[in-house]
Structure formats: C-alpha cells, structure tokens
C-alpha cells in the first residue's frame, strides 16, 4: 500500500527558471492529497504524471502567494474538464471569500461542488478522516496564520495466520474478533492466545508537513517519531537572523528539529531562490541529521 | 532596431504538459510589452531569458483565466524583487478591482506604482504612445468584452545622404528640416530637391494581436497590411460549429482573414489542447495563406 510524497515545487517566494513554488502530493493508498498550490501546480501535476482528477483534497498551509497562486488555474481547469466529484479545500477561512470573488471575477465554471473547510491554525485539530488515514493540523509560527499537517495511517487489524485457522478449525465469524485481538476458545474448551493466532500488522506510517515556519520546539510533541518530515529550509544558517526576522527556518534548524523529534527521514524544501546549488543546504542539515534529503522537484519519497 | 514577437504560451483554456496558456512579448526597440499573462508567464519569461524588469506595460485582452492567471504571481514577484519602476496595465475596468482585492487578500507587497488603464473594448482607441510607437485597441468578437491590439511604429525621419552634406556644404542647423522633407537652398541660391539629399526611412512596422475572437471581417480595415498578424486558431475547420458557438476561430478562418487583410506574415496561437501535433492547424492555414507559422513557445518572429 503506497504512502509517498512527491515534490512539485521547492522554491520560496518566487519561482526561478528551473524551480516552481510550493506544491506537494501525498499518495496514501492511491488517494492523492495536494499540499499547497503555488503557481504552475497544474502543469507540474501533468509533467509528473499525476492525474488532476485523482486529487479530491487540497490542503493550503497559509495565504501567501507562493503557496496559493496555482489554485485559480487548477479550479478553472477542473471546470473546463467537467469535473463532477466534490473538491475539498482546507485552509484559513479568508480563502473561501477570495475563491468566491475570483470565481465570479474570472467567470470560472464550477460544475463540481467546492467544499470549503475553514482551519483555525492556532490550535491542533483533526480535519480529515477516512478508513485508512486521519489528518491533524499543527500550528506553525509564521508571519500570518499557518497550519502544518500531520498525516497518519490508522492502525490496521492484525493478520491472522492461515495455518492457525486450519489447525484450530476457526469459524469465519470468529476471524474479525481475533484480528481485533481476542483469544480463541476451541470446541474442546481450550483457550488459544491471540499471540499464537496472529501476526502484528505493519506499523501505521506518518508524515508531517511543516511550512512556513521558524524553528519552533513546540511542535516536537506533535511530530515525534513521524516516518517522514517535510520541513522548510529557506536559508542556510549564516542567514539565521534573516530567517528569524521573516519567520522562516534555516537548514540547520530543520535538521535540529528532525533530530529532536526522532523522525525517520527529513525532506527539505522551500528554498530561497538565492541558492542555485542546493548541496550547501543539504550538507548543513546532514551534519545534524544524517537521513536528510533535498526535496528536488519530481522526486518521490516513499515510506515502505 | 528590433521589432519582434516572442511566444511564451500557446495553449487555450488549460495548459498541457508541454504548453502554457496565452502570453507574448513584443520587443520594440528594446522596450518590452507583455500581451496577456496566463499562468506561469513569469516562469516562461525567465526560461526564455526575458528580464522581468524590462516589462513596464502589460496588455490584457480579456478577463478569462487563460489570459490572466499569471498576473498575481508576476505582480507579487515584482514586489519581492523590490521593483521601483511604474507598471502599466491596460485591461477591462473590472480588472483593477480584482487586482486590488487580490493584493489585499494575499498581502502582495507593491513597492512600485501600479498604473491601471481601463479599456473600452467596444471601440478602437489609442491607448499608448511613445517616441517610437503607438498602440490602438481593436474590438474583438468574443463571449466577453475583448480587445485586440495594434502596435505601429511611428514614421521615422528621412536619412540624409552623407555625400550631400559635403557636396552642398549643408550647415548642421538645416539638417533636421531636410530630414523632415524640406529642399535646401545653397549659398549660391541653387535649390536642391529633398529627393536628391535624402534616402527614404524604413517603412514603419506594425503588429496586430487578435485574440480571443471569432472570425470577424469588421477588423480588416484596422489590420490591413500589418507586417505581422497574431490570430487565434483554437480549432481546425471541421470544428467550425464549435468555434462559432464559443466565439473562437478556426485555423482556416485566421488564414482567410490574413489573406483578406493582405498581412505580411501570420502567426497562429491559442490552440485547443486536443491538438497534440500542431501541423494539422498549420497545413489547414497554409492552403489559404502561405506565409503562416505556428506560434511555438519560445519562438521569436522578427520584422526586419
């Protein structure tokens, strides 16, 4: 079952000739979640062979243009392509009015329902849930209200051992109870412990998206032990003052947080256009947290 | 002196994986005029090595998203890059309010003056003039108010023959009059005709931008004899009904208009995403008007 993050844009503030602004797709069991939507996101989706129609949920961290300017084009294209499925947008409440205004202004055709979910980025709350996954917000520290997002798989039921079914002649109606953790009583009255009957399910996987934000220790309890952390790394640490002033993070700070939160893997993004070569950001982070990677556009990070 | 059109986007309605929506740059004597601004225009400008800062005038034909969705990103990037020069936008009056709303909503930083020029697309009027050039609107026939644009060089002064200056000992103060067409009277009282003293200047060059519009004979008087005509060709002529219904043109119709208006060269653009290979549109047009070209992205069409 897939659990992977694809990077569509990694530039902060403005695009460069080779890099787009923020946009990311999380694929959980072939459900696709778009996280932020910078200008050109719809082109990047096409370029990286992610079907536009597969996206039903869009999470917007905050209302700066480098995270949102691709939204009107995407909504408009969905209309022209005659989308019928509901489209859910999770964002600061202001965005609903802005979208409505632009839909009117540019005469955007919406043959589908646009379901808006207003977020309060000052708290952490569960904003999405399906049979496989839930999503909770993480309050970021930025110049304006900003939400990070924690995506976490739900625990799966245990796997029952096939040979145990035969050995103890377990009837079908008992199987779900055993998968849930119950012991089994044979027709002879013998109690077979659940441990003997089942294998543990795979550990639920988790991903945290943290952007835009300054270094913020307060979120560690929230992102503790996630398998994959995306954290913004706008600057190298020699520009720590600039990072602080603009409520952004340095690559060193992102790595420090990853280390403190004991995450599995760190992916950096949201790079200042001043960095032509991103190795300097990678090297800075790896000194603190070895399992760090640059969120190169087009790359997919999978959690097995 | 340069007079050239560069194509930045040629897709209609929605971008494809290889084609952007409408955007074009006209370079007249190293002044750069942006015509329409689809999503990703700022990336295309960078990709095709046109410095963002060189653009001081943006002409928007109409308020459909495939001609406008790149505007907010561009305005925002200008702010981040700390632009100081005035930026002039020529468009339907509604766009001024829409821009102001979005500037507020996304907190776009404008350290430069945004000078808005409201267009009445129901008439033809002169909207811009400098020492080299004037620009007039051309009313298009589309579903909403739409302006085409006619760019025309001003006539230049005649060139004075160097050998004539020496031969007739023409004083410096007489030169401008002779360039303007006057004859010259020598100190001996002999009248030298202007024709003998001067060479004709290069013919003023002209470019007409016609999109979006259905086939519309009424504009022929306006675009008559232009050196370069950009005309939309959304469909092949087998889809003439669809073109009519949506107020677009077929490739055949664009060529017919070019032929009727006796233009020098025709560049087609604004292609429906259904055409993967654009040769079918080119071949259809060339049967009617030989000097037709596909407006491939990145191509520059120069008028010598």
Q: What is the ipTM of this complex?
A: 0.93
Chain B residues whose CB is inside 8 A of the A72 CB are 65, 69
Chain B residues whose CB is inside 8 A of the A44 CB are none
Tens of pLDDT along B215-247? 999 999 999 999 999 999 999 999 999 999 999
For an interface test with B, the pick among A73, A104, A108 (most B C-beta atoms closer than 10 Å) comes out as A73
Chain-chain contact of B63 with A105 (C-beta, under 8 angstroms) = yes
Judge whether A274 is closer than 8 Å to chain B, CB to CB.
no
Chain-chain contact of A65 with B46 (C-beta, under 8 angstroms) = no
Q: Where are the beta strands (DSSP E) in chain B?
A: 3-9, 23-28, 31-37, 55-59, 87-91, 114-118, 126-129, 133-139, 147-153, 159-160, 184-185, 191-192, 198-199, 206-210, 228-232, 265-269, 292-294, 300-302
- Report the pLDDT averaged over residues B97-108: 96
Among B16, B47, B144, select the one facing A17 at the smallest CB separation.
B47
Ordered alpha helix ranges (H), chain A = 41-47, 71-80, 94-105, 162-167, 172-179, 194-197, 220-223, 240-245, 251-260, 279-286
For an interface test with A, the pick among B77, B98, B104 (most A C-beta atoms closer than 10 Å) comes out as B77
Tens of pLDDT along B52-97? 999 999 999 999 999 999 999 999 999 999 999 999 999 999 999 9
- pLDDT number for residue A90: 98
Chain-chain contact of A102 with B98 (C-beta, under 8 angstroms) = yes
Tens of pLDDT along A183-218? 999 989 999 999 999 999 999 999 999 999 999 999
Chain-chain contact of A64 with B102 (C-beta, under 8 angstroms) = no
- pLDDT number for residue B295: 98
Chain A residues whose CB is inside 8 A of the B20 CB are 43
- pLDDT number for residue A182: 94
Among A47, A72, A107, select the one facing B17 at the smallest CB separation.
A47
Percent of chain B past pLDDT 90, that is, above it, reads: 99
- pLDDT number for residue A303: 96
- pLDDT number for residue A65: 97
Catalytic residues of A: 66
Tens of pLDDT along B170-182? 999 999 999 999 9
Tens of pLDDT along B114-145? 999 999 999 999 999 999 999 999 999 999 99
- pLDDT number for residue B21: 98
Chain-chain contact of A43 with B39 (C-beta, under 8 angstroms) = yes
Chain-chain contact of B14 with A42 (C-beta, under 8 angstroms) = yes
Tens of pLDDT along B243-254? 999 999 999 999
**d(CA A16, nearest CA chain B) in Å:** 7
Residue A128 CA to residue A151 CA, distance in Å, equals: 9
Residue B46 CA to residue A68 CA, distance in Å, equals: 20
Write out residues in chain A with pLDDT < 50, as ranges: none
Residue A303 DSSP label? -
**Chain A, nearest residue to B97 by Cα:** A105
- Residue window 207-236, chain B: list those with CB within 8 Å of chain A: none
Distances (CA, A) of A285 to A24, A240, B282: 21, 14, 53
| Domains of chain B, start order | 3-156+205-302 (3.60.15.10), 159-199 (no CATH)
Per the annotation, the verdict on B36 as an active-site residue is no
Strands B184-185 and B191-192, sheet pairing: antiparallel
pLDDT band at B32 (very low <50, low <70, confident <90, very high): very high
For chain B, the average pLDDT equals 97
């Amino acid at each position: 079952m897939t659990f992977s993050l694809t990077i569509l844009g990694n530039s902060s503030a403005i695009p460069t000739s080779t890099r787009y602004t923020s946009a990311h797709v999380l694929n959980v069991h072939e459900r696709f979640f778009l996280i932020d939507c910078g200008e050109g996101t719809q082109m990047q989706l096409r370029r990286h062979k992610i079907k536009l129609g597969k996206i039903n949920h869009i999470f917007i961290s905050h209302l700066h243009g480098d995270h949102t300017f691709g939204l009107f084009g995407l909504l408009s294209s969905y209309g022209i392509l005659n989308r019928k499925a509901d489209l859910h947008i999770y964002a600061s409440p202001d965005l609903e009015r802005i979208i409505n205004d632009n839909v009117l202004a540019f005469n955007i055709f919406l043959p589908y329902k646009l379901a808006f979910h207003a977020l309060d980025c000052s708290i952490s709350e569960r904003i999405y849930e399906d049979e496989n996954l839930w999503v909770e917000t993480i309050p970021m520290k930025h110049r304006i209200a900003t939400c990070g997002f924690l995506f976490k798989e739900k625990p799966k039921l245990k796997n029952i051992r096939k040979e145990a079914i035969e050995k103890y002649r377990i009837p079908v109606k008992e199987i779900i109870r055993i998968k849930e953790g119950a012991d089994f009583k044979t027709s002879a009255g013998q109690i077979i412990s659940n441990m003997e009957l089942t294998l543990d399910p795979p550990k639920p996987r988790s991903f945290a998206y943290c952007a835009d934000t300054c270094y913020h220790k307060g979120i560690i309890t929230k992102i503790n032990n996630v398998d994959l952390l995306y954290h913004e790394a706008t600057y190298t640490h020699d520009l720590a003052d600039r990072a602080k002033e603009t409520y952004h993070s340095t690559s060193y700070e992102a790595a420090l947080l990853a280390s403190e939160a004991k995450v599995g893997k760190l992916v950096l993004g949201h790079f200042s256009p001043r960095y032509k070569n991103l190795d300097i950001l990678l090297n800075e982070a790896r000194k603190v947290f070895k399992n760090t990677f640059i969120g190169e556009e087009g790359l997919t990070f999978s959690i097995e």
